C-alpha cells in the first residue's frame, strides 16, 4: 500500500449512473466519457463499471486512449470526441474507434483508409451549433452529412453537437442553449429532408441532463455528473424536476508520516509563508502538488484527520504538505488524512477555493497515485 491513494467508490458511481438513467428514462442510450483517464478515476475500471451499469458506449478524446481501452479487453463502441491527425487513422481503424467528423475532407481520408482496409467504419457527424470548437456550421450539416453518406467505406451512424453553456442557470445562457438545441433540430430536419438517416442523435453533457430535457435526444454523454459533481442545480433554473443527488466518486487520501512540536513563531515550508501563532503540533502529510493537490491551496485548504479538519500550514511542496494540528489534537503518526472527498469537503469545494472546476482537480491527480477501487 502506498501513502497517497485515490479511493474510487464504484458503488457511488453506480448510484450516480442509476439516477441519470431514471432521469432520462429507459429508452435513451448513455455514452460514458472516459477521456483523460475517466477524469482521473481510471479509464479501464470506469469503462467496465459503466458497461456493467448499462452504458451502450464509451468516449475518449485521443486515439491512444481508445487503443488503451481495447488493450484492456474492452470491446464496446468507443467514440472519439477530438479531431485526430491523419497519421492516427490506421489506429482508429484497427481499434474500430468511432470518429466525430466535422468536414468532407476528413471523411474522405477516413473513407479511403477504411476502403483499403476492407471495412466499413462507423462515424458520427459533428455539428457546431454554437460551441465554436469542432463541427461543421449547422447550416452546412445536410451537405456534410451527404458527403459522409456518399463514402462507401463509412457508415453514417450518428449525429452530434456540443453545448457551450448548458451548465449555467443564467437566463441568457439558458436561452443560448435552447438556441443551440433549435439549430441542431433545424440541422437534423435538413439532414432528414435530404433523405438521410442521422443515426443516433446526441447533444447532452451533464449540464443539459440537469437543465435541458430538449437536448436528450437518443443518447446522453454525462461526464462530471457520473463522477459525482453538479455544476448547476435544477432549482437555480426554477425547474421542478426532482434534483439529482449525485455523490463524489473520488477521495484523495494520504498518511500522516511525521508529527512534531513547533514553538510559537517558527515557520513552516518554502518561502516562510506560515509562522506558528502559538506552540503547536505539525503533521507532515505525504501528498504534494505533484500528486495533484493544487499548490494554490497552500495555507487555504485543510486535511481531515480522524474526522476533524486541520488547516494546511505553509506552501504545499511537490511531494509533501503540512497541517497545523494545534496543541492537543491527539493525531498520531501513521494516521490517515483525507484531502478531499469522503468525509472531507469535495473536489468542487477545493476547485471553488482556487478558482477552477472539479474536472481539473480530479483530472490532475497524477498517475503515480494508485487508484483503489471500492464497492460496498
Ligand atoms: C467531455 C465531454 C462531455 C462530458 O461533459 P461533462 O460536462 O463532463 O458532462 C460530453 N460531450 C463531449 C463532446 C465532451 O467532450
Query: Does 16 contact ligand 1 (Cβ within 6 A)?
Result: no
* pLDDT(1) > 80: no
Q: Which domains does the chain have, with CATH numbers?
A: 10-237 (3.20.20.10), 250-374 (2.40.37.10)
Q: What is the structure's pLDDT at 257?
A: 98
Which residues are CB-contacts of 33 (< 8 A; sequence separation ≥ 6)? 39, 58, 59, 60, 81, 221, 222, 223
Can you give the pLDDT at residue 172? 98
Active site includes 270? yes
Q: Which residue has the cell 497519421?
A: 87
Question: Environment class of residue 152 by beta-carbon count within 10 Å: exposed (0-12), middle (13-18) or buried (19+)?
Answer: exposed
pLDDT digits (tens, 9 = 90+) for 94-134: 999 999 999 999 999 999 999 999 999 999 999 999 999 99
The reply to whether 35 belongs to the active site is yes
Beta strands in 24-147 (DSSP E): 29-33, 57-60, 78-80, 97-101, 121-128, 136-137
Global pTM value = 0.96
Residue-wise pLDDT for 183-206, tens only, equals 999 999 999 999 999 999 999 999
Residue 190 Cβ contacting ligand 1 at under 6 Å: no
Quote the pLDDT of residue 126: 98
Give the residue, by CA position, lying nearest to ligand 1 atom 8.
223
Pairing label, strands 29-33, 97-101 = unpaired
Q: Which residues pair with 101 in a beta bridge?
A: 125
**Atom number, ligand 1, closest to the C-alpha of residue 162:** 13
pLDDT score of 237: 93
Amino acid at each position: 500500500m502506498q501513502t497517497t491513494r485515490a479511493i474510487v467508490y464504484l458503488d457511488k458511481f453506480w448510484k450516480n449512473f442509476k439516477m441519470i438513467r431514471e432521469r432520462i428514462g429507459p429508452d435513451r442510450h448513455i455514452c460514458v466519457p472516459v477521456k483523460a483517464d475517466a477524469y482521473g478515476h481510471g479509464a479501464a475500471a470506469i469503462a467496465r463499471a459503466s458497461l456493467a451499469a448499462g452504458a451502450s458506449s464509451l468516449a475518449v478524446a485521443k486515439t491512444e486512449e481508445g487503443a488503451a481501452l481495447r488493450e484492456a479487453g474492452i470491446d464496446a463502441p468507443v467514440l472519439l470526441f477530438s479531431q485526430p491527425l491523419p497519421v492516427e487513422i490506421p489506429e482508429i481503424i484497427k481499434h474500430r474507434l468511432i470518429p466525430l467528423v466535422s468536414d468532407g475532407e476528413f471523411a474522405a481520408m477516413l473513407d479511403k483508409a477504411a476502403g483499403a482496409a476492407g471495412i466499413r467504419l462507423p462515424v458520427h457527424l459533428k455539428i457546431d451549433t454554437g460551441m465554436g470548437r469542432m463541427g461543421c456550421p449547422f447550416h452546412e450539416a445536410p451537405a456534410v452529412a451527404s458527403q459522409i453518406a456518399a463514402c462507401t467505406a463509412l457508415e453514417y451512424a450518428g449525429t452530434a453537437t456540443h453545448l457551450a453553456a448548458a451548465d449555467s442557470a443564467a437566463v441568457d445562457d439558458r436561452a443560448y442553449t435552447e438556441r443551440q438545441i433549435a439549430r441542431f433540430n433545424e440541422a437534423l430536419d435538413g439532414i432528414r429532408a435530404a433523405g438521410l438517416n442521422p443515426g443516433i442523435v446526441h447533444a447532452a453533457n451533464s449540464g443539459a441532463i440537469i437543465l435541458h430535457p430538449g437536448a436528450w435526444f437518443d443518447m446522453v454523454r454525462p461526464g462530471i455528473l457520473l463522477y459525482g459533481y453538479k455544476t448547476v442545480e435544477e432549482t437555480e433554473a426554477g425547474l421542478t424536476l426532482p434534483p439529482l443527488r449525485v455523490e463524489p466518486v473520488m477521495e484523495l487520501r494520504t498518511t500522516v508520516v511525521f508529527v512534531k512540536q513547533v514553538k510559537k513563531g517558527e515557520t513552516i515550508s518554502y518561502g516562510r509563508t506560515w509562522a506558528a501563532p502559538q506552540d503547536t503540533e505539525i503533521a507532515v502529510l505525504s501528498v504534494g502538488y505533484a500528486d495533484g493537490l493544487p499548490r494554490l491551496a497552500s495555507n487555504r485548504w485543510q486535511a481531515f484527520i480522524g474526522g476533524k479538519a486541520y488547516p494546511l500550514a505553509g506552501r504545499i511542496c511537490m511531494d509533501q504538505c503540512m497541517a497545523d494540528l494545534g496543541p492537543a489534537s491527539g493525531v498520531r503518526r501513521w494516521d490517515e488524512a483525507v484531502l478531499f472527498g469522503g468525509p472531507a469537503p469535495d473536489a468542487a469545494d477545493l476547485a471553488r477555493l482556487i478558482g477552477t472546476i472539479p474536472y481539473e482537480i480530479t483530472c490532475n491527480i497524477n498517475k503515480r497515485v494508485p487508484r483503489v477501487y471500492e464497492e460496498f
